[in-house]
Amino acid sequence: MKKEKLLNLKRLAFMLMLFVLGGQVSSKAQCSANYTVTYDSTGTILEFHPTWTSSANVVSMLWTFGDGTSAVNQQPTHTYNFTGYAPVCFTITFSDSCTSTHCDSVLTRQGGVPLCAASFTSAIAPGGVFFTDNSYSADSIMSYDWDFGDGTTQSGPNPVHVYSANGTYTVCLTITSASACTDTYCSTIAIQNGGTQCFANFSSTPILGTTMVDFIDNSTADSGATIVSYSWDFGDSLGFSSLQNPTYAYGAPGVYYVCLSIQTSSGCSSTNCQFVSAGGANSCTANFVASLNPATNAIDFTDLSVTNDSIIRWEWDFGDGTNSVIQNPNHNYTGIGSYNVCLTITTAFGCTDTYCDSVYYAGLQNCSAAFSGTISTSNVGAFYCTTNNANAQYFWSFGDGTYANGVGMSSVTHQFASAGTYVVCAAIQDSSCADSTCATFTAGSSSACAALYTFSVDSTGTTYTFTNQSTAASNYFWSFGDGTSSTDANPVHLYNQPGPHTVCLTLTDSTTGCTDTYCNSISAANACDPVFVALPDSSNPAGTPMNFTVITPCGAPASITIDYGDGSTPQTISGSNVTYVYATPGSYNVCVCVIDALGDTTCVCDTVVAYRLSNGIADLELSNIQLNAYPNPFSTTLNAEFTLEKNAVVSIQLIGLAGNVVSSTKEEKLSAGTYRESINTDDLASGFYILKLNVNGMQVSKKVALQK
């Protein structure tokens, strides 16, 4: 290992959150429960299939379906009277008195709306035909199969296809969802000289007090042509029309799949299908998301309310005695904690509704490492962090083997020796938070551009707001890593699965012809996951006592269970603080599981270093170790940087989440100082890994992401 004079970043001890477990309270339990669910062909009847592990005989089973009903048979079926998600818990008891419970949310369907429906749009460009998936699915879509009508096929959500000859082609998309729902949607596309194309499109407005719906045609014809025919299918197997802007009366309230097909004078045809609600009753549903703005440390609230007429008033209660009547306000809280925020809306027709959600404010977190930058024609780069923290340490890596660091160093300039593409990284650290970000820049081209974005997540942990930090461009294309995409400059995206997801932003500047892509790995984890801190208890000299503090961001839970990682029985605690005495000092993988009022379980595990205190100073030097890993995410090489304040025997390991060691160094005796070790990962698959630093037999760990 080569000793270098690098940035001495202070690492936050005892709060490295590694990864999120699901459902099961403890891996050290003597028995465990689990289940899967399948749907019938209509998607309305659910059948539950239990699984378990135990060497003892089964004594009893209990199912609670989240709608006030239950069952005791082994493989029950259940029908719900609503559409949405229900928390289902399976509890099993064995003859050795071991009991295990597994809870999960299942998708319920009342009927009327299909489980999935394929759909897409297309656009002709010089590089080919760009197809954009617009399919609907009640759960995640697992596969996309395209037939382009010219004898070729392809998989994936948003393909690009080049046709070898002009003509009219029938393109079909078949989707398959996680619940085995399959649907196919076909549309014709006309490939003509000049790359022209027509597009069917429409909007709909329900007429209050009736089951009638007004339909407005928004279709476009290809260049020089006009639309000569309209064909409407209103989705109830009864209604059809050839008018441009029809009004249709449905026989009953409901949700219908409406399709409009057009034909132009040049022979181009197109079809567009959408879900349309008909019911007539005045309805409104309040809703919002909340996210932390790292630049201002304020909570940004975004109104997501849905109504069938216009909203005339928004009333916000921020839970701390303050209010607002702005549609999308931002609010600065003065104290750390969880706040119950409520939004009440009122519509022009007198409908009113209130939605409340718990929002957790973690205090000052001015540690966003997001940055922008440009490189001049003389290869001089200028880089600027989007936040300016005068008390924080900044570390810059320019991708050419050179570095810069200093306190409050939120902007830097750097002379690149030669033209090329460089991965520039910024890291920021203060006494309460840390962050790092990398982006790609090109030197030696007057048309260089750089893609970059930051993101924030709402209180549910599923809706992400992406903020474009790129250099100016004419077109943006986002791939969200779950089969969906967007061309908005600053999109908002809802994830149905926890991830991690690799989100890529590709920008194109039509003026200079420059294009660039920036990718980052995000995990749509539950924002209500617990956070815990473990520190030595200096008041009790016996054994190795540790003080545990558990933080539950979304309010008081039904129960909190801690598995201390030393083979002892997991402990259910009351309150948020507990002291535990380890028999010997060491490094332990501790798991904290929280069960909420609905019975849903979330678990978080982290490495805790247990050691004794002597006169207020740790006997082991582990508490003084600083470990940094960059870039993170990384693609081919990971740099592990650490600082020793004493002489020590050191080795480094890279470990998979299954516990397998994929890379390691030999033990070396090192003197006090700062070191960097480069780890080559060409033979490893993308995913999460644990970087472990071993010092005199003790360990410090950090989660890293490999992204190829």
Distance CA 385, CA 394 (A): 10
SS3 of the chain: helix, strand, coil, percent, to 5: 0, 55, 45
Write the CATH number of the domain with boundaries 27-108: 2.60.40.10
Report, as an integer, the average pLDDT of 640-646.
Answer: 80
Q: Are 524 and 466 in contact (CB under 8 A)?
A: no
Which residue type sits at 51? T
Q: How confident is the model at residue 121 (pLDDT cuts 50, 70, 90)?
A: confident
Domain 531-618 sits in CATH 2.60.40.10? yes
pLDDT at 243: 95
Render pLDDT for 474-521 as a digit per residue (tens, 0 to 9): 888 888 888 788 888 889 888 877 666 778 888 887 777 777 777 766
The whole-number pLDDT of residue 555 equals 64
pLDDT of residue 325 exceeding 70 = yes
Question: What class, spelled out in words, does domain 284-361 have in CATH?
Answer: mainly beta
Q: What pLDDT sits at residue 246? A: 95
Mean pLDDT over residues 14-34, rounded? 40
- Say if strands 167-177 and 160-161 run parallel, antiparallel, or are unpaired: unpaired
Are 4 and 675 in contact, with CB atoms under 8 Å apart?
yes
Spatial distance between the Cα atoms of 473 and 135, rounded to a whole number of angstroms = 28
Query: What share of the chain has pLDDT > 70, as a percent?
Result: 73
How far CA 345 is from CA of 181, 199, 325, in Å, comes to 36, 36, 10
Q: Which of 67-76, 96-105, 515-524, 677-686 has the highest mean pLDDT?
A: 67-76
At residue 227, the pLDDT reads 92
Q: How confident is the model at residue 230 (pLDDT cuts 50, 70, 90)?
A: very high
Task: Report which of residues 175 and 431 the model is more confident about.
Answer: 175
Is 50 exceeded by the pLDDT of residue 546? yes
Q: 427 by DSSP, 3-state: which? A: strand
Of 410-424, 533-547, 609-623, 627-641, the range with the lowest mean pLDDT is 609-623
User: To the nearest whole number, what is the mean pLDDT of the chain?
Assistant: 75
Does the pLDDT of residue 461 top 60, yes or no? yes
What does the angle CA 421 – CA 422 – CA 425 come to, to the nearest 5 degrees? 155
Q: Measured between alpha carbons, how far is 1 from 640 in angstroms, rounded to an integer?
A: 11
List phi, psi (to 5°) of 623.
-65, -15
CB 358 within 8 A of CB 367: no
Q: CATH fold of 116-278, please?
A: Immunoglobulin-like (2.60.40)
**CA–CA dist 279, 701 (Å, integer):** 56
What pLDDT shows up at residue 4?
A: 31
Give me the mean pLDDT over the 147-168 stretch: 85
Cis previous bond, 631, omega within 30: yes
Name the amino acid, one letter, at 147.
D
Topology match between the domains 531-618 and 625-706:
yes
How confident is the model at residue 518, as a pLDDT?
72
- Residue 14 DSSP one-character state: T
**Who's near 325: CB < 8 A, 6+ residues apart?**
313, 314, 315, 316
pLDDT of residue 231: 93
Distance of CA 421 to the CA centre of its chain: 29
Distance (Å, rounded) from C-alpha 238 to C-alpha 346?
A: 36
CB distance 13 to 627 below 8 Å = no
| Architecture in CATH for domain 625-706 | Sandwich (2.60)
**Mean pLDDT value across residues 170-192:** 81
* SS3 (DSSP) at 638: strand
CA atoms within 13 A on the CB side of 123: 6
Q: Between 350 and 694, whose confidence is greater? A: 694
- Could you tell me which residue, 543 or 38, shows the higher pLDDT? 38
Q: Return the pLDDT at 43.
A: 66
* pLDDT of 8: 28
Check residue 553 and give its pLDDT. Answer: 62
Residue 244 has pLDDT above 90, yes or no: yes
**pLDDT at residue 127, rounded to an integer:** 59
E-strand stretches of 537-632: 544-551, 559-563, 571-573, 577-582, 586-595, 601-610, 613-614, 617-618, 626-630
Question: What is the mean predicted confidence (pLDDT) over 85-101?
Answer: 82
β-strands 202-206, 240-241 pairing: unpaired
Least confident of 275-279, 303-307, 414-418, 546-550: 275-279
Residue 566, token pair as written in the block: 């030393």
When mean pLDDT is compared across 43-52, 516-525, 556-565, 614-623, the lowest value belongs to: 614-623
Please report which confidence band the pLDDT of residue 316 belongs to, taking 50, 70 and 90 as the band edges: very high
| Domain boundaries, given as residue ranges, for the chain | 27-108, 116-278, 284-361, 531-618, 625-706
Q: For residues 699 and 623, which has the higher predicted lDDT (pLDDT)?
A: 699
pLDDT of residue 12: 24
- What 3-state class would DSSP assign to 556? coil
Compare 128 and 383 and report the one with higher pLDDT.
Answer: 383
Per residue in 580-608, pLDDT (tens digit) is 888 877 777 788 888 766 666 777 776 67
* Gyration radius of the chain's alpha carbons: 29
Q: Is 132 left (phi over 0), alpha (psi -120 to 50) or beta?
A: beta
Give the 3-state secondary structure of residue 1.
coil
Can you give the pLDDT at residue 687? Answer: 67
Which residue is associated with the tokens 């008891």? 93
Token pair belonging to 621: 């030097």
One-letter identity of residue 218: N
301 contacts 290 by C-beta, under 8 angstroms: yes
Q: Can you give the pLDDT at residue 400?
A: 82
Q: What are 559's two structure tokens?
A: 């129960």
Is the separation of the CB atoms in 72 and 100 below 8 Å?
no
